[in-house]
Each structure stands twice: as structure tokens, then as C-alpha cells.
Structure 1
Amino acid sequence: MKVSPLTVAMIFAIPGLGSAQSNCGDLTNQTEMNVCAGKAYAKSDAELNKLYKEIEARLKDDTDTTKLLVSAQKAWVAFRDAECNFSSSRVSAGTVYPFVSSSCLDGMTQMRIENLKGYLKCTDGDLDCPVPAAN
């Protein structure tokens, strides 16, 4: 199936889909775009999980803060999923849905990755950072 230039322009106008554009280049076949966006999201999700585990490891001796991390992550996942369900709702019955949904999930995950990377850069004495500095 070919995707019209207007459809592509509308897709990239949806908030959070810029990463799909850079990850998937100028693909025009809908199936290829869907697969590409799914792979981009899977890669981002793997990076997110790696960073999350690194933070958990640094918090291993602090059960209270670990509980807060788990709670925050669960809430973030629920928000991410709800936001992407909402943002892709106009195309939920179409063939573009996997692309739009995966692209949203990827974009949101990339933002969370940046948050977690920030926590991993904490220095000793940084009072607004809950993750201990690396030894």
C-alpha cells in the first residue's frame, strides 16, 4: 500500500512522532513504516529497561526510594500508554495505526530515557536527585 504525501505530513504533525521520521527515513510503504516504527520502539524500550535496572542497582540499599521509583515508573507507563492510545485514536481502525502508535510509544520512551539518564548523572550532594552518584 502506498501512503500519500498528505498522509505522511499529517502523521508527522502528530506530537511525539518526530523520532519515527528520523528512524524510518523516507519509507513510503505502510507495512515497512509499521515495521520500522515497531523496531525503533523496541530498541528504545530495551534502552529504557537497561537504564531503569541501572538505577535500581544504585538504589539496592534504599528500599523506600526503590518503592518510589517503582511507583513512578508504573505511573509513567500507564501515562505513556494512555497518551499514545489517545494520540493515535483517530487512526485506530486504519493500517497506519501500528506506525502512529509505535511512533508515539517511541517518542515518549525517548523522553523518559533522557529523564533516567539525568538521574544517573547525579553527583554527591545533589539534593534534588534521588539516585546516588556512581562509585
Structure 2
Amino acid sequence: MKNIAFAFLVIASGASAALAQEDPPVDCANAQTQADMNQCSYQDFETADKELNAVYKQALASQAEVDKEAAEMGPDYVGAVKALKKAQRAWIDYRDGHCDGVGYEAVGGSMQPMLINGCMATLTQTRTKELKELVQGMGN
């Protein structure tokens, strides 16, 4: 009986080790399966989101500079950072809701995540462009 239990533990630990190994990276330029396309679309969104976060930090710094200069004219002129944060929160709600809606084209299907991720990546890239324009428009 001990040998059977030991053999089971050896087999189970080998299976766990095999499951723990990571799959090779997907070649997104040649993705063939829906699972690969879903993964690639998520990677596209992650890349876009990282860039957005970096540009958003620049936009916050830019708006903080605007507020700093405006403070010299009085407290009624300060609010650029607050406005940017309000807009960003609203934009995130819009992006998430809109893209969830886009996913309903394939609700319950295997391509639903790809549709949502693609939408989120596209809207995030557009928002990043808007924030860059904001920073540039503020003379930075």
C-alpha cells in the first residue's frame, strides 16, 4: 500500500511540474487558434495600457504646472488636475462599458475576449493620443 501511495505522489508531483511549465510565447503575427488570438489581443491591450499610464503621469504633471501658475491668480483658477482626474475616471467607465457592449457580438463565444480586448486597446490608444495632445497643448 505504501508503494502505491508513493507512486501516486510521484506521478502527481510530475503532473504538477508539467502543468507549472509555461507555454512557449505565442507568435502574434501568425496566431492561428482563437486562444492565441485572445492572448495576443490582451497583450496589445496591456501594451496600450502601459503607454497610457506613462502619458497620463505626464499629463498630471503638466496640469499640476498649470494649477501652480494659475494659483497666483487665485484659488478660483486652480482645477486642471481635478478636471483631468474626473475626465480620466469617466473615460475608464466609458471604455469598459463600451467594450463590454462590443463583446456582445460574440457573447459566450470563444472570440468574445478578443473583441473586448481589441476594443479596449483601440480606445486606449486613442485616449493616449488625446493625453499627448493635452500635454503638448500646455506647452510641454
TM-score normalised per structure 2: 0.68
2:64·2:80 contact (CA, 8 Å) conserved in 1? no
Looking at structure 2, the residues matched to 96 and 29 of structure 1 have their Cα atoms a distance apart, in angstroms, of 10
Say whether residues 1:43 and 2:58 are aligned partners. no
Partner of 1:94: 109
Name whichever structure is richer in helix by fraction. Answer: 2
Partner of 1:133: 139
Q: Which of residues 120, 128, 133 in structure 1 aligns to 2:135?
A: 120
Could you say what secondary structure the match of 2:91 adopts? Answer: helix
2:59·2:132 contact (CA, 8 Å) conserved in 1? no
Question: 1:1-135 alignment to 2 at 5 Å?
Answer: 24-61=28-65, 62=67, 64-122=79-137, 132-134=138-140
Looking at structure 2, the residues matched to 105 and 48 of structure 1 have their Cα atoms a distance apart, in angstroms, of 12
- Following TM superposition, by how much is the alpha carbon of 1:118 offset from its aligned partner in structure 2, in angstroms? 1.0
The runs of at least 4 consecutive aligned structure 1 residues that moved more than 6 Å come to none
- Higher radius of gyration, 1 or 2: 2
- Following TM superposition, by how much is the alpha carbon of 1:60 offset from its aligned partner in structure 2, in angstroms? 2.0
Partner of 1:3: none
Aligned residues: 102
TM-score normalised per structure 1: 0.70
Which ranges of structure 1 fall in alignment gaps of 5 or more residues? Answer: 1-23, 123-131
Larger CA deviation: 83-92 vs 45-54: 83-92
CA deviation map 1:102-132 (0-9, x unaligned): 011001111111111111222xxxxxxxxx3
Report percent identity of matched pairs: 29
- Write the letter of the residue equivalent to 1:88: G
Which ranges of structure 2 fall in alignment gaps of 5 or more residues? Answer: 1-27, 68-77
